[in-house]
Structures are given as C-alpha cells and as structure tokens.
Structure 1
Amino acid sequence: MPDFWIIGPIAWDLALYVDHLPGSGHFVQAGESAERPGGTGANVATALSRAGARVHMVGYVGSDAAGQRMTTTLTAAGVDVEHVQVLQGRTSSVVLLIEPDGERTIVGIHPDLLHDVTIPATAVAPGDIVYFAAWRDVFTPAAQAMAAAGALVTGVPPGTVPAMRYVIGSRNDFAVIPEGTVAIVTDGANGVTVHSEDGTHHFPALPTNAMDVTGAGDAFAAGLLWEIGREKSLVEGVQLGLAWAAATVQVKSSVPADIPSWASGHKPLA
C-alpha cells in the first residue's frame, strides 16, 4: 500500500440542525447544534488513516485553540501532521445548516489561507498517491513535480493540469468535463458518473437513510483512493467509495464515520 498525501482544508465546524432554511430577513431556531472537526482535506485523510493507510496531511491551522484541537484530532486518528503548518490567525471554520433530509448549506467564516501553504513536493516517493482536496492555481508546479517524481496525482476540479490522472468532484464543480483525464462526477443521491477514454458509465448511489450528508463526498473520494492504492479497478474504487459515502450520511458528523469493516473492501456495516 502506498503512502497518501492529502492536500486541503482543515476546519472546525459548527453544525446547526434546522427544520428549514430561513428566508431573507427571517429567523430559524436550531433544534440541535454541535462543534466538530471538519474540512475536506482532514476528512479524507482521517477516513484513509482509519482504514489503515499511511497518510500525510498537508494544510494549515491557525494559531488558536481550534487549530490545536484539529492537530490533536488528526494525530489521534493516525494522520501524520508534520506538514500541517500553523499560520498566524484563526483556523478555518464553517457553519453548517443541516435540514431534516440531511442536506446542508455551508457558510465560511474566516478567510481562506490555503494558497499560503508550502507543499512538500520533494517528499513524495514513486507510487505514492497525492490528492488535492481543494485546488488553487499556485499548486500547479507542485502537482507537476509530484507527478514527475512518480506519484499518482489526483484532485478536485478545476485542477485539470496534465499531471492529474483522476479528477474527482461534484456535478456543480465541473464547468466542463476535462479531456485527457478520468473525470469522476458525484451527484449525491443520483450516484456517480465516470467519464474516461472507455466512455461514460453511471453508478447508482446505495439506498440509505440520510441524516447528515456532510463529508459524503470526502468519504467517496477516500474509498476510491483506497482501492486505487490497493491496485483495484476503477469500478471497484467507485463501488467502495459509494459504500463509504452511504455509511457516512447515516451519522451526524463532518469527518466520515469510523466503521471497522471499511478496510475489508466490502460494503461497510451501517
């Protein structure tokens, strides 16, 4: 199993469970609230580490209590945080408004500083898997250097640089389907569509009772990457990703659910 390098946001989330989203100028009372770890990069890194992978997190936290909590949380999950930088200021934070069907609306609070993160492009080894959980154009040289070093580089749109083997994102993330790469498009309960040189193939989502869809896309990406790391087929990767996503939406959490059977390669126990 190769090492995984996850580059992306690390955040502290405030989840508010509401009956409905308020209209402009209206009030809504949260029935439940929770502060919890989150961030797309941290979510993917945690899921892979829990499955048994060696994971290196690349990102930043602020010089505040939330940053210390996130570093401690990642370390406890087995994630290497050597390349998590502490930047002066506040840790990234979002407010999640979660409706009864599990759908969520996200409001960012603090300015994003991910573009200031130094990516350790020379630290990767041939065969390592790199995943850009968020993309900034300043990452292009690092992505190209990692690919040149023999790493398999993947990421989210619009990171369609030639170095990327797979581009993974939601339907709303893709302005166009990029050519020359494998585009894996998620669409919530509608499932996943894969565009490649072999054509276009659709995979339905697994039926589930969604409580909170936060982190579902991250769980899908982690499952897909896990199977790629095990040298399984893309179809097997998509299928496991869908299973991990289905398990994740059944719990109230930003970080994907901790399910013991994840590493088995089969559908997790819900």
Structure 2
Amino acid sequence: MSRVICAGHVNWDVTLRVDSLPDPDGEATVESRVGAGGGSAANVASGLVGLDVPATLLGSVGDDEHGHAAIAELASKGVDCRHVVSTDDGPTTVKYVVVDAKGEVFVLGSPGVNEVFEASALPKSALAEADHLHLTSQAPTTAAELARRASEVGTTVSFDPGRRIGDRGYTEALRQVDFVFLNDREAATALGDSGNGGSVGDALDNATLVLKHGPKGAEVRDGDDTHVHPGYPVDAIDTTGAGDAFAAGFIASRIDGATYERALAIANACGALTAAEPGARTQLSWRRLDDLVEAI
C-alpha cells in the first residue's frame, strides 16, 4: 500500500549552470548542461521513498524518449508509477532550469502534456488505502476533484500550488485541503488576496499553512497557533527542488505522528540538503539527515 499519493507535474528538466544571470540584451556562459527527471509531484514522490515512505505518482508524460526516461528513473528509485498516464497527444513537458553561481534559479517551460491526466485516472480504492494525498501544480479542476474524492474517503490532503497560485483558479481546491505549502512570494500573493469573497486568501481560512522562508527557515500556522523552525545554515548551490524536498520531509514526519516543530526541523533539513547540491532531486535518507537533525 502506498502511504502517500503525489499528483501533479512529471517533467524532464534540462539544467543549465551559468556564470551569472544576464541582464536584458546580455549574455552568460553556460558552464554545464544536464538532463534529468523533474516536476514537483515527481520530486516529492522521489523524496518520500528516500525517507522510507511508499509513494505513488499520478501525472502524465508523452510517449517519447523524455517520458520513458523520467518514468524509468522514478521507478528505479522505488516510486509506484502505475497511475502515470503516457499519451501520444503531445511531448513530455521540458523545463529549462537556469542556475547561477549563487544558486539562484529561473525556469523556462515548453508546452507539454504534464496536465493531461485527470482525477479519474486514480482509482477510488487507491485513495481510500492511502494515508495522504499531496497535490502540486496541475489543472485546477483536477486538483479540486482529487481533493474532493480524498475528503470523501477520509484521506488527508496537502497542496503546494506553486508560483501561479494567484492566477490559476485554485480557489475550489484550496477550500478542500488540510495543508497548504507556500513560499514567501506565494504567501504574499495568496494572503494579500482576501476579503472580497471567493478569493484565494478566503479559501485558505480552514487550512493549516506551512510557510517556507528559504534560508530563514519555516513556520506552521494552525489556527491561532504558530510553530517556527529557524532552518540550517548551508551554502546554496542550486535551490531547484528544495521546496519539494521540504514537502517530502514534512509529510513523511507528520504521517508518522511528529509534532509540527519536529516536522519543520526535518523538512528544513531536507530542503537544505537539496539546496546544497546541484539538481532538483537530492537522494534523501534518514542517515543523511543525521548531520543536521539530532535524535532522528
């Protein structure tokens, strides 16, 4: 049985490391180019299995070289990919991730099929048997339907809507989830959009917020209670996927009964390890976390 189902994007990432991010009409030197699997849902699923939590992935890829490679990589790590849809309606989504010497990132996306999958691709029995459903960037109607179906069978739900939270129409999905992950920029957008009925901010009223502050740590806002962890000092090399690793650590901890304080400590450690290494997927393990978190 998969304890966690991760739904959302499955991509192929092409990471370009550059000496600096150029100004408009400028130029940068590409120091390396690496292709590997990516996508927020896939990254979280990979992180979970590294932390000994069985994970199932729901998403979609093209029936092409990149799609086959992405699924093969995930399956080799132990992710259950039975519910990933392979389609010939278009190519696997490719993201071009540009990373500078300070670890700062910007992303260029190409059209693809990472939102072709629908909620119906996941059997009701799979949701009922899972401990938790984690939603990431995906079609708003699919996110809302998956959240509704999970709620019906008593499966808890978290949602990391990503940088487009303000313009994708996620209000209905956000109303139905238990936890919402936001970084500082996303929180400013979401929490600033309230009080006008049907807005993103109003939809978050009943959710527990997990706020990611990057190198400044993270916090949980659960009603009137706030829980904070300061994070860990690391030299960031590449922040791609650090938020996904954070989510994997938080979810793995909470489904095993950890307090919010401990879940934040583990989640921050997962994010720090990922930011300190190149690529979107650092190999997470409890052994590796020992160096940052005491008494694992």
What TM-score do the two structures reach when normalised by structure 2? 0.83
Structure 1 counterpart SS, 2:41: helix
Instruction: Tell me, in whole angstroms, the C-alpha distance in 2 between the residues paired with 1:248 and 1:73.
Output: 18
Instruction: Tell me, in whole angstroms, the C-alpha distance in 2 between the residues paired with 1:194 and 1:136.
Output: 26
Partner of 2:241: 215
RMSD: 2.2
Structure 2 counterpart SS, 1:205: coil
Query: Identity across aligned pairs (percent)?
Result: 24
Deviation of residue 26 (structure 1)? 2.0
Deviation of residue 126 (structure 1)? 5.3
User: Which amino acid letter does the alignment assign opposite residue 28 of structure 2?
Assistant: V
Instruction: Tell me, in whole angstroms, the C-alpha distance in 2 between the residues paired with 1:259 and 1:59.
Output: 24
Partner of 2:102: 101
137, 145, 152: which one aligns with 1:141: 145
Instruction: Tell me, in whole angstroms, the C-alpha distance in 2 between the residues paired with 1:150 and 1:262.
Output: 33
- Which stretch shows the higher mean deviation, 134-143 or 242-251? 134-143
Deviation of residue 115 (structure 1)? 5.1
Deviation of residue 64 (structure 1)? 0.8
Deviation of residue 183 (structure 1)? 0.7
Partner of 2:196: none
Change (3 A) 1:223 1:260: closer
Contact 1:51 1:263 in 2 (8 A): no
Contact 2:134 2:158 in 1 (8 A): yes
Partner of 1:129: 132
153, 170, 182: which one aligns with 2:183: 170
- Length, aligned pairs only: 268
Change (3 A) 1:255 1:170: same
- Which stretch shows the higher mean deviation, 116-125 or 129-138? 116-125
Deviation of residue 147 (structure 1)? 1.2
1:64-213 correspondence runs (5 A): 64-88=64-88, 89-111=90-112, 113-114=114-115, 116-118=117-119, 119-120=121-122, 122=124, 123-125=126-128, 128-139=131-142, 140-157=144-161, 158=165, 159=170, 161-174=174-187, 175-176=190-191, 178-213=204-239
User: Which amino acid letter does the alignment assign opposite residue 120 of structure 1?
Assistant: L
Instruction: Tell me, in whole angstroms, the C-alpha distance in 2 between the residues paired with 1:131 and 1:59.
Output: 12
Instruction: Tell me, in whole angstroms, the C-alpha distance in 2 between the residues paired with 1:127 and 1:60.
Output: 20
Instruction: Tell me, in whole angstroms, the C-alpha distance in 1 between the residues paired with 2:286 and 2:264.
Output: 19
Deviation of residue 11 (structure 1)? 1.0
Instruction: Tell me, in whole angstroms, the C-alpha distance in 1 between the residues paired with 2:291 and 2:180.
Output: 22
Change (3 A) 1:116 1:58: closer
Deviation of residue 260 (structure 1)? 5.4
Instruction: Tell me, in whole angstroms, the C-alpha distance in 2 between the residues paired with 1:266 and 1:189.
Output: 14
Change (3 A) 1:206 1:266: closer
Instruction: Tell me, in whole angstroms, the C-alpha distance in 1 between the residues paired with 2:77 and 2:252.
Output: 16
- Which stretch shows the higher mean deviation, 112-121 or 160-169? 112-121
Structure 2 counterpart SS, 1:125: helix
Partner of 2:24: 24
Instruction: Tell me, in whole angstroms, the C-alpha distance in 1 between the residues paired with 2:225 and 2:94.
Output: 39
User: Which amino acid letter does the alignment assign opposite residue 175 of structure 2?
Assistant: P
What is the CA deviation profile of residues 110-163 of structure 1, one whole-angstrom value per residue up to 9, with x for unaligned ones?
245415434415121256200002243212122111111010111124455332
- Which stretch shows the higher mean deviation, 198-207 or 175-184? 198-207
Change (3 A) 1:127 1:61: closer
Contact 1:47 1:222 in 2 (8 A): yes
Contact 1:85 1:117 in 2 (8 A): no
